[in-house]
Each structure stands twice: as structure tokens, then as C-alpha cells.
Chains A and B, each alone.
Chain A
Amino acid sequence: MRMQPTRRVIQFAFLALVVGGVFVLGANAEKWCPFGGVEALYEYATEGTMLCSLGVSNFYVLAGVLVMTLLLRRAFCAYLCPIGAISEWLRRGAGAIGISQWRVPIWLDRVLGTGKYLTLAAILGLTWWHRELIFRAFDPCYALISRHGTDITIWAYVVAGAIVLASLLVMLPFCRWLCPLAAVLNPFSAAGLARVRRNNISCTNCGRCARECPMDIPVDRLPQVRHARCTSCLSCVDSCPQREQGALSWGPPSWLGAPWPRAVLVAVLLLCAGGAVAAAYLVPLPSYVKTRGTAPSNTGVVELHVSNLSCRGRANLLFWFLDRNDMLQLPGPDGDPGYFKLEAWPGEEWSRVRVTYNAAHATADDVRRAITEPYFNLQDDAPASRWMESPFAIRGFDPLALPPGDVPS
């Protein structure tokens, strides 16, 4: 069975899923980006919050991609990555209309390949330093999936244009030289289980496999392909004229057994991707956790659905309203500010929120009012003091439904 038609279908299906989800359903695709999981690692580990509008789903997808990479090497790049798909199709389309591919000399390929590590270091260093997705403004992928979000600058489109132009001349330039996720995956891919195996006896050394390889791996000179940049696209195997004689095969190390059927590759891809999505829904960890005070022995919990809670910034604002120090402050013992813990799942429309509070002194209604009622932000400098109207509404909570005697007649 040739892999390329199946691979194209998977690439197209995944790209259509992303585009449809973003432009038709208006979904937040950023929450499903594996590199978002890399960027948010430090913040989540140290503060318990995700960056910006990322969610814990980013971690699940990252885990799924890493497992996929340990089994199949960088198969994510060849089968699922939207940028990889578009870049590859651009080059193949350019080839179809007569634009020759530029084969980069090996030494230059090596030098340019270090660019992805530099990109990764710069992105992670600055993101972790600033505690924000500081490269959003320049990210061409984000420009697409955010439907030209407010953070986007012209540089995102300059980078996109450069990738498009380069893709017309070189096969997968971004994936080989600039992609920060590739830099993360490479160490895992180097230890990957599956590999292309070459049978020296049935191989006729025609060299077609090396010519077909989109990553310029010298397949015809290797007993097995264990390069980190191998994407398990199986273009080499499909192009081999001695394929039926077993000159090239794909599977685990020979000591582990016979080559695998191609269906194994598809199954692992779908299991890892599907497993990540399922985990995100079945084990929905909060993307934002923040606490005031020490938990008492008697706590109450209220689960709410709150509007306008789209990102970490808004979750901070929600925490700020709960943390208020006016008459609607969540009370604690001896009149001190009471304990509460905010867990939030920022998203579109109505977002899930869970607030744990000191049940001996506060009630669930106190929590609802602290979130929704206006708050006078008192500052020493009089002009800086102002009324802050809460942008949050709680589903099912009627602002007209006051406790009796709350407002004098």
C-alpha cells in the first residue's frame, strides 16, 4: 500500500479541521497548539496559570505529539501540521508548473538547521521572561488561527510571505530551519522507535529514495534511517522500485520484529491525536488557579459559568473582583478577608469557574455578588480612584433577584 495518498488525505482532513474550526465555528485553535504547551510550561509549573488564552489542552496535545514522536519520529510534521502541509503543497505545486527545486548543499543545510534551535531559545527565553506570548505579534500561524487577532502586526505577514516564497523553491524550509516545535521534537525523534530499513541485498542503489526524501536524508546510503528530522512520510519507501522485494521497509528495529503495515502508522497517529483531545475533555484541569489565604477546615464550593472570561488577563481580573476589600469582600474570621480559591477554564462565551470559599463565613451568593457587583477602587491619589463595573455575568444569576432588605426602599 502506498502511503502518499493516505498521507495527503490526512493532511487535508486535518487542515480542513483547523480552518473549519477557526473560520466556521469560531473556535480557539490556539488552545490546541502543541507549541503553546511548550511556551506555557514554565508559567504553569511556577504559577499554576496558563499564558494568555492557552488552556491545559495545550499540554495534552503536546504530550500526544511527544508520544507520537517517540513512536513515529516527526510524523506530526508530515501528517498533521498545517504549516507543513501548506509548505509541502506549495513546493509540489511549484514543481508542477516548472519551478525547479533548489537542493541545499548539506553543509548549508546543517548551518541553517541550527536556526530552529536559536528560534526556540529566543521564543522561550523572552516568553518566560515576560510571562506572556510575546511572539504572537510575529507568528504567521497565529495570524491565521486568530483570524487576524488584535495582537497581530505586519511582521506576522512578512514572515508568512517569506515562508511562502521560500516554500516555492525549497522543500519544507520552515520545518527544516526555523520551526521551534521541530527543535523540541528532534531529541525525541532521534530516540524514535520506528525507522525506515534498507535491505542491502535487494537494494539496487538507484538513489530514488534519497531524491524523493523531503528532508534530504541520504536514505540510499544508510542501513536504517534514524535521523531526528525523519518525518515518517514514507516517500522513500513509496518511490522505491524494489519495494515489493523489501529493499525498503518501515517498522521497529529488526531485533523487535518484522516491518509494520502502514495501518499501524495511521492508527498510532489517530490514537495519539484522539487520545490528547479525549484527555482534554475527560480530565479538564483548570487553566488558572489562584488562592487567597489558607484553606480552613469548613469549605464550600460553587461552580459557575461566567461570561467574558476569555484569557488569563480576564481571569486575573475575576480574581481581583473576588479579592475586593469593600463591603462585598468575602468575609473571614474576625472580619479579616476570607479564604477563597479560584479555578477557571477561560474560553469563549460562558467559561467554567469553580470557587472554593470559607463556608463558615461566606455563602455562594456572596461569591456571585463579589464577581458581578461594581467595585470602587480606592487609591490614595483621588483621580486614580474610580468605579469599576464588572464585565462578568453569571449564567442563571439574575441581577434583579436581591436578598430581601438588601436595598432600602
Chain B
Amino acid sequence: MRTCSLVILAMLTLLAMHTPLLADPGEPAYQRGEQLLAEGDFSGAMAAYASAVRADRDNRDYARRYMLVRRVVQLRHQFENETDNDRLAYLARALRQFYLSHHLHRPALDVDRKVYDRLGDTRSALALADTQLAMGLNEEAAETLTGIPEDSQNTSTRALHAIALSRLGQGDQANRLAGGVNLPKDSGLGVTYAVARMHAATGNRERAVAALKQFFAAVPPSQQAGFRDVVRGCPEFASMATSPAFTAALNTPSKVSESKCSGGKSCAGCPMRGNCPSSQ
């Protein structure tokens, strides 16, 4: 009899855990927000996250998510009406980073196109071409990059151009372009990653791995996991995914020190101590 009571109690507990009574009250609204965001419905997502916050005021994750999407909605509105080129560029980069981090390529393309049409500089062309490549619009990407004057080209533009040409089956031209690209040791993350992709696209696996190692050594520890996902999802590296050298490159230890706040071990060893800009 007692055993039977215990079994019934256990079953009721299990059932209660999966009912709305004991479940997270804001979860359904939050999940709806995630779904709407994935579909590119920013206002709808914002409203859903707001509902999640109202349902669970103590949940900081819901509040932060709501505030981030609300910020994006504000920036989208400002972007549509912005007349100052510097502010437009800032808004574009902020929106683009958000869109791409959520795999929303179509809105990112719209932003990149608008900025390129307004500014027409190398940076905007590079951003547009990068998004076009991400969406498989290889011809458009090649056309965008060809439109950059020779004296405005840089390592990143040449690297992306080589990738585009390689995808379009113009291997010889791609290899010629790649041969003229050098990667200094102190190159930024964007340049290093573009060169790594270029070498992978043109079949030079050894140099691709070397560039990836250089890339991951320069990525702060707290961001390494995110960038590993990005690299694994990049089509240029698909053929190398099972190679031990590629895996080792992705696991290159970071040479960047971070504070405890930003995911590192301790404030004591952090070069940013006393002036820490990092988040949790």
C-alpha cells in the first residue's frame, strides 16, 4: 500500500513538472518570441518577449532578450530614416551583426545593399559581398567585388573575390588572386578569417589551417566557442571538417587574456584590469 502511494506520488510529481502550473510561466511566450525572431518578425518577437517578461518579472534572461530586440527595432526604424552617413554606417553594422548572429541573411542583405548604394566605399562593398556569399549569391558577390577600384582593394576584398571566383568554377583566376594575398602576423580577425576561407576555397589546406590557428589564437576565450560554430558552418571548410589538422586548428588556445567578468580566470592576470569593458 505504501509503495503504491509512493509510486502515485512520484507520477503526480512528474506530471506536475510538465504542467503550466509549475513550469516557467514566461517560457511559452519566450519560445514564441524566438520563433518569430527566426522568421524575421521583429515587432512580433518584441511583443512576445514583453509577454514573457510580464509573466515572469524575475527572469533576467527574458528581460535582457526583450531589451535587445527592442533596441534592434529602434535601430531599424532609425536606419530607415537616417540621413547622416556616419550614423547610418554605425546603425548598419549594429543591425548586420545582430542579423547574421541569428542567421537572418535577407535583412542583412537589405541593410548591406542600402549602405553600399549610399556610401559605395570598400567597407560597404566588402560587407555586401560577404553577405551575398553567405546566401550563395556568388555571381552578385563577384560583381560587387569587381566594382571596387584597384587602389581601394585590400586583403579582405581580394580574399572574398577569390572565394567567389572559386565557387563560380573559375579556379585559375581564383588561384592567381590568392597567390598575391599575404597575411601578416598582426592581422585583424576579419582579415585572418577571410584569408583562411580563401585558402580553403582554393584548395590550399595547409595555409588554411595555419590561418585558422592564427585566427583562433587571437580570439578571446569567451568567444572561441561561438567562432568555432561559425567556422564549422562555413562551406569553404566543409571538405576539411574531418581532418585532424582542422580540428586541432579550431582548438588552438587563445593568447588573449580576459578578466573573470568576461569569461577568463581572474582579474589579477587580465590586461584590462582597471579598465574592463567586458560583459558577463
Contacts and interface: CB of A to CB of B under 8 A. Distances in A.
Interface of A: 47, 52, 130-134, 136-137, 150-151, 308, 311-314, 316-317, 320, 326-327, 372-374, 376-378, 380-391, 393, 399-400, 402, 406-409
B115 to A, nearest CB: 13
Interface stretch (B67-75, B165-173, B204-212): B67-75
Contact of B261 (A314, A381, A387, A393): A314
Q: Which interface residue of A47, A384, A406 has the most chain B CB atoms within 10 A?
A: A384
A134 B261 contact: no
B98 A387 contact: yes
Q: Which interface residue of B50, B190, B227, B270 has the most chain A CB atoms within 10 A?
A: B190
A30 B51 CA distance: 41
A381 B189 contact: yes
A24 B218 CA distance: 43
B78 A130 contact: no
B77 A408 contact: yes
B54 interface: yes
B73 A407 contact: yes
Contacts of A381: 188-190
Given A376-B97, A387-B97, 9 more contacts: A132-B268, A132-B270, A151-B260, A327-B74, A381-B189, A383-B193, A387-B98, A391-B280, A400-B66
**B interface secondary structure, majority:** helix
B276 interface: yes
Contacts of A150: 260, 266
Given A130-B273, A377-B277, A385-B97, A313 B261 contact: yes
A407 B74 contact: yes
B93 interface: yes
A320 B276 contact: yes
A161 B67 CA distance: 49
B255 interface: no
Given A327-B78, A378-B90, A316 B193 contact: no
B53 interface: yes
A385 B94 CA distance: 8
A294 B270 CA distance: 30
Given A130-B268, A131-B274, A383 B261 contact: no
A136 B68 CA distance: 36
A317 B188 contact: no
Given A132-B267, A133-B268, A385-B93, A374 B68 contact: yes
B259 interface: yes
Contact of A317 (B54, B268, B279): B279
B278 interface: yes
A142 to B, nearest CB: 12
Interface string B245-280: 000000000000001110000111010011111111
A150 B189 CA distance: 30
Contact of B279 (A376, A382, A391, A402): A391
B50 A317 contact: no
Contacts of B63: 393, 399
Nearest to B190: A382
Given A399-B63, A407-B70, A389 B279 contact: yes
In this complex, the interface size class of chain B, counting residues with CB under 8 Å from chain A, is 35 or more
5 contacts: A130-B268, A374-B67, A376-B93, A391-B279, A407-B77
Given A326-B90, A373-B67, A313 B273 contact: yes
Contacts of A407: 46, 70, 73-74, 77
B64 interface: yes
A43 B78 CA distance: 43
Nearest to A307: B60
Contact of A132 (B64, B127, B273): B273
A302 to B, nearest CB: 19
Given A313-B273, A389-B68, A391-B279, A378 B94 contact: yes
Given A52-B267, A326-B90, A391-B279, A313 B67 contact: no
B169 to A, nearest CB: 28
B96 to A, nearest CB: 9
Nearest to B273: A132
Interface in B223-237: 223, 227
B280 A383 contact: no
Nearest to A134: B268
A384 B90 CA distance: 14
Nearest to A402: B70
A373 B71 contact: yes
Contacts of A137: 266, 268
A132 B60 CA distance: 30
A383 B187 CA distance: 12
Contacts of A386: 97, 223
A387 B94 contact: yes
Contacts of A390: 64, 67, 279
A313 B279 contact: no
A130 B227 CA distance: 31
Given A132-B267, A380-B188, A317 B276 contact: yes
A353 to B, nearest CB: 17
Contact of A399 (B67, B73, B94, B278): B67
Contacts of B97: 376, 385-387
Interface in B48-90: 50, 53-54, 60, 63-64, 66-68, 70-71, 73-74, 77-78, 90
A155 B127 CA distance: 50
B268 A399 contact: no
A376 B100 CA distance: 14
Nearest to B189: A383
Contacts of B71: 373-374
Nearest to B97: A385
A297 to B, nearest CB: 29
Q: Which interface residue of B68, B188, B190, B267 has the most chain A CB atoms within 10 A?
A: B267
Nearest to A381: B188
Nearest to A386: B97
Given A130-B268, A136-B268, A389-B68, A317 B278 contact: yes
